[in-house]
Amino acid sequence: MAARINTPEDIAKMRVAAQAAASVLVMIGEHVQPGITTAELDDICLDYMRNTLGAEPAPPTVGFPKATCISVNHVVCHGIPSEKKLKKGDALNIDVSLIKDGYFGDTSKMYFAGEPTVLGKRLATVTQECLYKAIKIVKPGATLGDIGATIQQHAEANRYTVVREFCGHGINKVFHDEPQVLHYGEFGKGAVLEPGMIFTIEPMINAGKRHIKMLPDGWTAVTKDHKLTAQWEHTILVTETGYEVLTLREEEQGLL
């Protein structure tokens, strides 16, 4: 199925939903401290979505049991918030997806509980660089393979590996739509980008080997070797001349 080309009305409403999701990531940052539980962080996010933004969390629409995905240390993605307390140096990804006026916003960011470890900080930085490098090549005429190859090239140059079981996705009035945006690949391959496409880029990069395993809960993915992992995510619009990062946060002004 071909990727959806969004109308100007779709794009306007996606900007609102995407910025709502981004604002949750900004709000929650001060609460990420040693001693807090991921369930408490999830509750804070849910309250903010509903009572400040007038939005609803997206994960429950696909059967996920909580409002956000919070993945700690070796959890690759879809970590279920729990009563386990964060410890000093823990690295965590908070993935916020919500529904605002019928449209989905989706974004994630890395955080640290207290002072990060040297390995954790470096992996998070390189993973963010993978995302930014991929975003910067988005324009009409580029291919999905260009995005994947750019991420893979930078990760592997830093001796990290790319998780291959999960990918970015089209997003609009549908949570997970076409196209599928792989985070590895070959330059010049795959679908050609067109103005009006909206999709996420969300690389998951491992400090060890790329292999993962699923936990019995059916959601949580972890690194098979229990090495650290990191992820960042933005929602991107392909414009007539390049890209617009719909989930851009103020702290990133000048970086993209």
**pLDDT tens, position by position, 62-83:** 999 999 999 999 999 999 999 9
CA dist 223 to 84, 152, 211, 247, Å?
Answer: 19, 17, 6, 27
This prediction's pTM: 0.97
Query: What mean pLDDT do residues 28-32 have?
Result: 98
Query: What mean pLDDT do residues 13-22 have?
Result: 98
CA dist 234 to 32, 65, 95, 188, 229, Å?
Answer: 20, 23, 10, 22, 18
Instruction: Kindly state the tokens that stand for 47.
Output: 């309250």
Count the Cβ atoms, other than its own, within 10 Å of residue 141. 9
| pLDDT score, position 2 | 84
- What structural domains and CATH numbers belong to the chain? 8-246 (3.90.230.10)
Query: What mean pLDDT do residues 190-218 have?
Result: 98
| pLDDT score, position 241 | 97
Contacts of 127 by beta carbon, 8 Å cutoff, 6+ apart:
110, 155, 160, 203, 204, 205, 230, 231, 232
Residue pLDDT, tens place only, 142-190: 999 999 999 999 999 999 999 999 999 999 999 999 999 999 999 999 9
Across the chain, mean pLDDT equals 97
| pLDDT score, position 256 | 82
Closest among 176, 179, 198 to 246, alpha carbons compared: 198
Q: Is the pLDDT of residue 1 over 70?
A: no
Rounded to 10 degrees, what is the CA torsion of 21, 127, 250, 8?
Answer: -50
Query: What mean pLDDT do residues 131-150 have?
Result: 98
Percent of the chain with pLDDT over 70: 100
Cα Rg, the chain, nearest whole Å: 17
Instruction: Kindly state the tokens that stand for 67.
Output: 């409002």
